[in-house]
């Protein structure tokens, strides 16, 4: 019997970035779901209970930091590892400190191998 695929939720409003992430993650055998704004992403995290969330910082409706804070405040989602994916220069110092709420951090543009390595590490898998 085949092991159940791990589910990864991508919360990013850039369709091109989402497609790149989806392609790389599906090649690795993950099930991928996506949300294009913060509110939709938070709802999807609660509904889907993914194994990992890849979260952009600059999002419509609710920033990635607001999503991350809400995820950590909710008993149903606080255990889900979060990989922040953003352009480094978009972050102010207080936001940089919030990265401690996440388990990983990757800057755009990213190398696909770095993404996969980070995902494997956060999911406790060997490459």
Sign, Cα dihedral of 112, 13, 103, 92 = positive
Topology, domain 7-119: Rossmann fold (3.40.50)
Residues in contact with 88: Cβ distance below 8 Å, sequence separation at least 6, in sequence order: 107
Would you state the pLDDT for residue 13? 95
Q: What are phi and psi of 121, to 5 degrees?
A: -65, -45
DSSP 47-82: HH--SEEEEESS-SSS-HHHHHHHHHH-TTTTTS-E
Structural domain spans, the chain = 7-119
Q: What is the DSSP letter of 9?
A: E
Q: Give, for all 127 residues of the chain, the pLDDT tens digit.
A: 345 689 999 999 999 999 999 999 999 999 999 999 999 999 999 999 999 999 998 899 999 989 999 999 999 999 999 999 887 655 554 455 555 667 788 888 889 999 999 999 999 987 5
Sole residue written with tokens 């956060």: 122
Distance, CA of 7 to chain centre? 11
Predicted TM-score of the model (pTM): 0.89
For residues 125 and 77, what is the distance between their CA atoms, to the nearest angstrom?
Answer: 21
User: Largest Cα–Cα distance in the chain?
Assistant: 48
């Amino acid at each position: 019997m085949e092991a159940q695929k791990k589910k990864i939720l991508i919360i990013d409003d850039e369709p091109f970035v989402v497609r790149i992430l989806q392609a790389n993650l599906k090649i690795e055998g993950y099930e991928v779901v996506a949300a294009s704004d913060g509110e939709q992403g938070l709802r999807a995290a609660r509904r889907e209970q993914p194994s990992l969330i890849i979260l952009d910082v600059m999002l419509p409706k609710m920033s990635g930091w607001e999503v991350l804070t809400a995820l950590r405040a909710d008993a149903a989602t606080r255990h889900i590892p979060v990989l922040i994916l953003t352009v480094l220069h978009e972050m102010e110092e207080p936001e940089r400190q919030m990265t401690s709420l996440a388990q990983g951090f990757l800057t755009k543009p990213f190398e696909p191998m770095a993404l996969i390595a980070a995902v494997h590490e956060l999911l406790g898998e060997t490459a």
